Amino acid sequence: MNGFRAKITSLFAAVLLAATANGKASFAAGGEDADDATAKAHEIAKGDVLLEALLTELDRSKEQLKMDQVKPPYYIEYRVDDVDNLDTDASFGALLLNQRQRVRVLRVVVRIGDYKQDSFYGQGMGGTTILPFDNDPIALRRQIWLMTDQQYKAAADAYAEKLSALKQFSADPNPVDDFAKAPVLTKVEPLVSLKVDENAWKATLQEVTNLFRKYPEVQSVAANARFSAVNEYFVNSEGTISRTGRTNATVTLNGSTQATDGMRLQRSPYWTEIRSENLPGRQELLKQATVMLDTLKALRNAPIVEESYRGPVIFSPDAADDIMAGLIGGNILGKRPQLGRPNRTTGAFATSYKTRVLPRFVSVVDDPTIKEFAGKKLVGSYDVDSEGTAAQPVTVVKDGMLENYLMGRLPIRDFSTSNGHARASPGTAAFPSVGTLILKSSEAEPAAELAKKLKEMVSKQSKPYGYRVDTLGPGNAPRLLYRIYASDGHEELVRGAVFNELDVRALRNDLIALGNDPLVSNRVTGVPQTIIAPSLLFDELEVKRADTSKEKLPEYPAPDLQKQ
Amino acid sequence: MGVRRRGMQALAWLLTAQLAAYPLAAARATNDEPVAKASSDVVLQAMKNELDRAKTDLAKSDTPPYFISYTAYDQDQIFIIGAYGALLTDTAVKRRSVDVTMRVGSPELDNTHGQSRVTGMTSGILPLQDDPDATTRVLWELTDREYKRAAPAYLNVKTNTAVRAEEEDKSPDFSKEQPSVHVGDKLTEPAFDKKAWEDEIRRVSGAFRKYEHVFYATVVLQAGSSNARMVSSDGAQVVIPSATARLVLEAQTRADDGMDLLRVETFQAPTASGLPKEADLLAKLEKMAADLKELRKAPVAEPYDGPALLSGRAAAVFFHEVLGHRLEGHRQRDEEEGQTFTKKVGQEVLPKFLTVVDDPTLGQINGLKLAGTYDFDNEGTPAQKVTVIEDGVLKNFLMSRMPIKGFEKSNGHGRNQPGLMPTGRQGNLIVSSKQVVPEGQLRQMLIDEVKKQGKPYGLYFDDIQGGFTLTTRSLPQAFQVLPVIVYKVYADGRPDELVRGVDIVGTPLAALTRIITTGDTQHVFNGVCGAESGSVPVSAVAPAMLFSEMEVQKRAHGHERPPILKAPGIESSTGGAAKVNETASPREVNP
């Protein structure tokens, strides 16, 4: 109940440091006359009660929010995610859950100080609350008002804490600003809504998971469908106003079993689209589920990878997408290191700016402005990021050289502005994220050509077979891994293998060819993202036996079925 | 990150997740043919079949379980939360969850011993539909998973017990009980007019708008039905449908010195139609707002040691938190616990004129329904009236099937929320007194006592909040006693003076021995109590009480100021034009 810590000390510190102890807030205006801008903003918001409420509280706080002997805020932002979700789960032919959730989440950031040095630190990095979903202006404004007040006080404390923390480190001769300036943006898009045939999906998921009856070898069969419509509102004290909507729909199948020796075998194919009607339909899902169950069954009887292999490996586009997301997507984000740390950013490419990180024939672009690729709509596309900055295409790697990072408004060394890549899940802080990441080669070849090369290399090295990865699971562990025999080209499914040292070094040194068969992978893990990558050929990777203990088999057999 | 836990905004995130238990609680029903009724229940039949199979097949393993139970909870709940005239949350939750309990070893020593207690249960989600194939399949998976947890845990327990120093209480881990067979009658689905309730919650929560000093306020409605089915390997079979509705008003302000001040009112009824009428809610709300206004201005309490009077409601909460929790059986055994009462059986712990029972079989008192009423506890043991303290002497504890020294059997108090292992818990804790005066005379007796002790004033505790009164909080704390409405009653006839920030010093338990006399009317407090085994509905019942001595001090509190800007849209209660009492922006929107 008494959630308040004694922060009287830090408040005192803030008092001592407050330079402008009186007068009105000196907000950075967007160039226009402030009153004109305000009037224009409200004109845009007309008819949207939520947007109007946000602007009304923003104006009020800009004009009046000020504590004695504490600086007024120099920047305030409000982000609201109006979320409508539907979740349906089925297992063994029956419905487990069917849940609709509607929620409006507000995130407030208040900054004290200036662009060079401010309070964005610790508790000053923003706060979250929920807003009413009724369009009642006073009720909406009450929540906004309370959270703004709380965040202003938090910023005051955080500012003092940050300045005191900085005293531990010697001053940086070339300090990086705490907050990037950004152009004022106005963009109000039409609202999106959830459109889904709920009953049809319930029936489909039940039908799909009912296939368990035909597969006594498979222990667990489940399916989930999740549909989401999010309208994101963003306003800040610089004058930016945006309202953008996004929808996505994901269906996931899950199958799990054990081999007779106890090894756990899993598959979880999924499909994500902007519109639910573009997901695989009933027939297609039944087909895909059958494939999944058949492969699980096949995996149970597949030989284990006992001996280590070091040689050429080919990745299907589906597996390549996962490699890209993990090894490149995770390392090109302009995330600021901890206070006092000298690094530019975090991750494996932190010190790789202007150095070669990929083969010379490979380039990587993140371009959220592309709406479609090869006829498929991309969930990673957006117009405005979660900080109200327009999305921009970014060439991250050009001819193998790292040229850029994905940036939000938190500057890092050598990168002082946002390129529109700060994104957030509802209620969370915005961080640099992948939008639509595309891996391309200046020397792309047909996939068949890659397979041919693999066979030639294998023969040359007098190996009986090479490896082809069809599907990866968590941690880039293969789920469907095949041996391709050099003699006659036939494939053999194997199990229980992992890669040794499949890392950024391998991408740079051992990746020798890319296919011309790029595959779009839409994914919603946190924020919606799209990865587009073709087949990859590595000249040398190590495939070895997974060091996982085998689980015990079930103590007793599954129950008999009553219905057939 | 950066999200501070604060009183002002702590609620609604957690609420949808906080499906409080409606365990095997129920409207009491008689029934003659449980077996016949059970056979038409597809889910119950599937549970029985799968349990039998598990029992037979696992008996062949190296370390077979000696006890298995399945408890499935159908929950169909609606949560509506309103604030200042609009809805924050409006969710319907429908699900069927299941707890698979397993004990490996023997009743003397099993896998649930000591810190390993959590290994006794694995929970999951059952199909919503009455589908026997899917239901048995899920039960099989969960049972296998639970066995793979329980069996190694038992081996660990055995080793640890051999290695460690002997425990003080060498009681077995599980009591032997007569298995119950009971199938409650299906309830007619309570009518719930969702639209009407949404509108009422908008209106009631909107009434807080006119109070400028109420910074944060919510109205929470939770209504729904539940059906609990339990089967065990020793032959128990219990099916209990139930329904409940709860409405909570919560209002908060902050004094200029940073002290947070909170008022909570909880109402409970079997169905939403039994909750107070809107006019009554509004009257209550007005009182809460008035209390908060007074509290903001009230002086902070000074350290004091002297006579005190507790209202019936305050005394009920006080007894629940301070006494009731310490009488829960498992606490006498857990070596981490204070074990205040463990060795006091047969000794006087309260004044002779007080008797305390916990009686879940009692449905109501003075026409008021009790929240802690149930027929069978979560272990399938029939509820029993337990006299814990008789004429001041400690007699008994609230027992689940975990025995303690001298108390080998359950007395039907093993309770839990779905997903957690049961422990001894309170149901309806009832304090009765043989030394009573008409309630109206207690105030004068307080003044007399104050004069006798030569003090300038005594304290009147009108309201105390405990863990279980704060039903919308995420982590209710057992034992928490938080006086909220406390008056100084002067000996010289000056008017009573409200004070805030009162904290009871030392062990509140010591105060219990200093009760001089009590009122003649029993007051009921209904709420949801949180402890290790989760949230369970409870009642506490007590008369007003006069204490010869209570020591209090000023409570530590936060120092953050009240909101800097005025609340948006403070307006007159009669409606009309929105009067904004801030530097109004010309674009002010009227609601």
What is each CA distance from B210 to A445, B187, B430, in whole angstroms? 72, 41, 39
Q: Are strands A436-441 and B545-554 parallel, antiparallel or unpaired?
A: unpaired
Q: How many CB pairs under 8 A join A and B?
A: 226
Closest-CA distance, B536 to chain A, in angstroms, reads 20
Lowest mean pLDDT among A61-70, A227-236, A391-400, B469-478: B469-478
Residue in chain A lying closest to B199 (CA)? A134
Of the candidates B4, B89, B136, the beta carbon closest to that of A127 is on B4
Between CA B48 and CA B66 the distance in angstroms is 16
**Chain A residues touching B87 at Cβ < 8 A:** 132-134
| Residue in B with minimal Cα distance to A555 | B144
Rounded to the nearest angstrom, the minimum Cα separation between B543 and chain A is 27
Give the per-residue pLDDT at A40: 76
Question: Which residues of A are less than 8 Å from B133 in CB distance?
Answer: 92-93, 213, 559, 561-563
Most confident of A233-247, A326-340, B188-202: A233-247
Asked whether B358 and B512 are in contact (CB, 8 A), the reply is no
CA-based nearest residue to B234, from B184, B183, B182, B180: B180
- Residues from chain B contacting residue A212 (CB–CB below 8 Å): 137
Smallest Cα distance from A484 to chain B, Å: 37
What's chain A's average pLDDT? 91
Mean pLDDT of A67-93: 96
Touching check for A47 and chain B: CB below 8 Å?
no
Residues of A with CB below 8 A from B199's CB? none
How far is B567 from chain A, CA to nearest CA, in Å?
Answer: 6
Q: For residue A153, which residues of chain B lie inside 8 Å, CB to CB? A: 560-561
- Which A positions 345-404 lie with beta carbon below 8 A of chain B? none
In chain A, the percentage of residues whose pLDDT exceeds 70 is: 93
pLDDT in tens, B56-77: 999 999 899 999 999 999 999 9
Q: Contacts for B31-38 with beta carbons within 8 Å, 24 or more apart? A: B31/B182, B31/B183, B31/B184, B31/B185, B34/B181, B34/B182, B34/B183, B34/B237, B34/B239, B35/B181, B35/B183, B37/B183, B37/B239, B38/B183, B38/B237, B38/B239
Show which of residues 200-259 on chain A sit within 8 Å of chain B, judged by CB atoms. Answer: 212-213, 219-220
Judged against a pLDDT cut of 70, whether residue A13 lies above it is answered with no
Residue A43 has pLDDT above 90, yes or no: no
- Cβ pair B583:A63 closer than 8 A: yes
CA dist B372 and B370 (Å) reads 6
Cβ contact B393:B347 at 8 Å: yes
Are B563 and A146 inside 8 Å of each other by CB?
A: yes
Residue A77 has pLDDT above 60, yes or no: yes
Give the residue among A135, A40, A60, A52 at the shortest CA–CA distance from B580: A60
Residues of B in contact with A89 (CB under 8 A): 125
Look at residue A452 in the predicted model and tell me its pLDDT.
95
Task: Say which range, A42-56, A441-455, A534-548, has the weakest mean pLDDT.
Answer: A42-56
Contact criterion met (CB < 8 Å) for B2 and A123: yes
CA dihedral B56, B62, B66, B69 (to 10 degrees): -60
Q: What is the ipTM of this complex?
A: 0.88
Nearest to B512 by CA among B501, B504, B524: B504
Q: Which residues of A touch B216 (CB under 8 A)?
A: 146
A130-180 tens-digit pLDDT = 999 999 999 999 999 999 999 999 999 999 999 999 998 888 888 899 999
Q: Are A436 and A370 in contact (CB under 8 A)?
A: yes
Residue A366 has pLDDT above 90, yes or no: yes
pLDDT at A27 over 80: no
The pLDDT, as a whole number, for residue B34 is 54
> pLDDT at position B580, please?
35
Is pLDDT above 90 for A95? yes
What is the per-residue pLDDT across A370-383, written as a single tens digit (0 to 9) for each? Answer: 999 999 999 999 99
Residues of chain B below pLDDT 50: 1-23, 25-32, 471-478, 571-591
Of B466, B492, B452, residue with least CA distance to B307: B452
pLDDT average, residue stretch A240-261 = 96
| Kind of pairing between the strands at A309-315 and A465-472 | parallel
